[in-house]
Structure 1
Amino acid sequence: MELNTEIITTPPLDSASVVLLRDTAQGMQVLLLRRHQASNVLGGAYVFPGGKLDPEDQHPALLSQLSQDAVTLHQRLAEPELTPQRAAGLFVAAIREAFEECRILLGQTGADTPDLPALQNALASGQSWAQAFQNLSLQLHTDALVPWTRWITPRQASVTHKRFDTRFFITRVPEGQTAEHDNFEATETLWTTPREALIRYWDHEIELAPPQIMGLVQLARHPDTHSALTEAQSRQPPVVEPEPFDQDGVRTICYPGDPRHSVSQAVFPGPTRLLFKNKRFEPELGLAALLD
């Protein structure tokens, strides 16, 4: 991972990412996708599925296919400065990106039997998401998608040349669906327990960006999907604005609750700062700080 030292003057791009969970005999697992090495954003890193908000995501015809209206979704996202349509569009963006990147169609109940190949073929033929959903009479149950956290890239970015305002959602993978990377944006699908992912990161087996590191730290505290979802539903998604600074020539990113951060109250467990060492970000106290 290369350190980016430029100051980014453009405003952050609205985006959505989704944390997909499942329960297994080995414990709760989370889905990570390895971004294509040639990607200009976190190439080679393992990330949660996600991407930018598209204008199409706010199309009235598409929003009409959601099980909850825009006003309800606006209230759930808890961002009063957004329009209801834009808030609803972020839910759509999370669902769309999950399908495009790993062929998982979120918002399906156990009674639903979506024709996923038909949807894929419709989109491949040039139909828009709004057209495809109307033609196939699909409805998405947005209550299954729980707002989790919101991360805003600082102007002095560290691992990307772009700024993002990313809303992370959390949900279970619908029964009967199998994740499959697209071999375009993503080149590997990895189901892993959060603890295993952090250990593999520490052992230099996989590469993670700070939001994924800290997200996995949060998830590692939960024994199963019910625990993780219940915790997310019990509070509003915290806003995380990392604040970078250089300490003894080492780029450091601090989070709410750190003595150097402008927000004194911590919003998640684990370390409150990461240091850029060994061409990646690490906590001051090593692996133990991620797992304790």
Structure 2
Amino acid sequence: MELNTEIITTPPLDAATVILLRDSAEGLQVLLMRRHQASNVLGGAYVFPGGKLDADDHHPQLIARLSQSPVQLQQRLNEPELAPERAAALFMAAIREAFEESGVLLCQSAAGADAAHVSALQQALAQGQSWGAALQSLALQVQAEALVPWSRWITPRQASVTNKRFDTRFFVSHVPEDQIAQHDNHETTDSIWISPAAALGRYVAGEIELAPPQIMSLVHLKQHANAHSVLAEAMQRKPPVVQPEPFDDEGTRVICYPGDERHPVSERAFPGPSRLRFTDGRFEPEGGLARLLD
């Protein structure tokens, strides 16, 4: 992974990411997907499904297909300054991106959601139908309750791994047991269900690339034994706002997070290390990569 040294002057783009969860015999697992190497945002890195907010996500007919009102969704995001319609669009974007990138459909019709709906929606999109038109034609309702706000990450002006800024709302969601997640071979070229600890272990071993938001999210998630535990925490607290503060230390890029002595916010946003250093092409905490496995 290469370090970005540009100062980004444009405002951050709204985006949504979904941390898909499932339980296994080994405990909690999350879905990680490898972005296409040619992608101009985190190419080759393993990420959670997600992407930027599209203009169509705001369409009134599309918002009407959400199972909760824009006001309810604004309250769930806990962003009183955000327009309710914008909050609704972010929920819509999260569900759309989850489906487009992983095939997981967090929607249902009057008869419920099943494999036939997943196949029909995939076919409609492949034939050029828009996401909104496809939902309308299949009479699908978007299950906003399936998403629980987890955190909000805002890229600093001195970004470290991209030349774009994003204001990304992270959601957590339990994957329906009857659905199979898989990469689309377009935006993503590989997908793995893996425990947070095992994912960090693969990163430490140099087997996969991860960006700082994924690293810190996995460190947080490995505190949980199952999906219910993650969702229970998410529903009991406000989603923390994470605005990383980068600085240079003797020629080395360091990113600090809320709770660090160099960060303006004294209250921690999540467990684990409070800063990462960019060393030998990878981000690691003070004391070395093995600290991620503590």
Q: Same fold (TM over 0.5)?
A: yes
Instruction: Please tell me whether the aligned partners of residues 107 and 140 of structure 2 are also in contact (alpha carbons under 8 angstroms).
Output: no
* Distance (Å, rounded) in 2 between the aligned partners of 1:58 and 1:156: 29
- For 1:169, what is the secondary structure of its paired residue? strand
Residue identity over aligned pairs, in percent, reads 67
TM-score by length of 1: 0.97
* Distance (Å, rounded) in 1 between the aligned partners of 2:217 and 2:45: 14
Instruction: Please tell me whether the aligned partners of residues 220 and 291 of structure 1 are also in contact (alpha carbons under 8 angstroms).
Output: no
Unaligned runs of 5+ in 1: none
- For 1:282, what is the secondary structure of its paired residue? strand
TM-superposed CA distance for 1:107, in Å, is 4.2
- 1:191-202 matches, cutoff 5 A: 191-202=193-204
Count residues in correspondence. Answer: 292
* Distance (Å, rounded) in 2 between the aligned partners of 1:159 and 1:130: 32
TM-superposed CA distance for 1:126, in Å, is 2.1
| Post-superposition CA distance 1:4-51 (Å, at most 9, x none) | 011000000000000000000011100000000111111100000000
TM-superposed CA distance for 1:122, in Å, is 1.3
- Partner residue, 1:213: 215
1:58 aligns to 2:33 (yes or no): no
- Partner residue, 1:94: 94
TM-score by length of 2: 0.97
- For 2:171, what is the secondary structure of its paired residue? strand
- Partner residue, 1:5: 5
* Distance (Å, rounded) in 2 between the aligned partners of 1:175 and 1:163: 35
Instruction: Please tell me whether the aligned partners of residues 65 and 138 of structure 1 are also in contact (alpha carbons under 8 angstroms).
Output: yes
| Post-superposition CA distance 1:217-275 (Å, at most 9, x none) | 01000000010110011011100000000112110000000000010111100000000
TM-superposed CA distance for 1:288, in Å, is 4.3
Moved over 4 A (4+): 107-111
Unaligned runs of 5+ in 2: none
- Equivalent position amino acid for 1:221 in 2: Q
Q: How large is the Cα RMSD of the aligned pairs? A: 1.3
Instruction: Please tell me whether the aligned partners of residues 65 and 140 of structure 1 are also in contact (alpha carbons under 8 angstroms).
Output: yes
- For 2:98, what is the secondary structure of its paired residue? helix
Describe the shift of the 1:232–1:226 C-alpha distance in structure 2 as closer, same or farther (beyond 3 A): same
- Partner residue, 1:228: 230
- Partner residue, 1:177: 179
Instruction: Please tell me whether the aligned partners of residues 50 and 97 of structure 2 are also in contact (alpha carbons under 8 angstroms).
Output: yes
TM-superposed CA distance for 1:289, in Å, is 2.7
Instruction: Please tell me whether the aligned partners of residues 283 and 290 of structure 1 are also in contact (alpha carbons under 8 angstroms).
Output: yes
* Distance (Å, rounded) in 1 between the aligned partners of 2:113 and 2:52: 28
- Partner residue, 2:25: 25
* Distance (Å, rounded) in 2 between the aligned partners of 1:100 and 1:41: 17
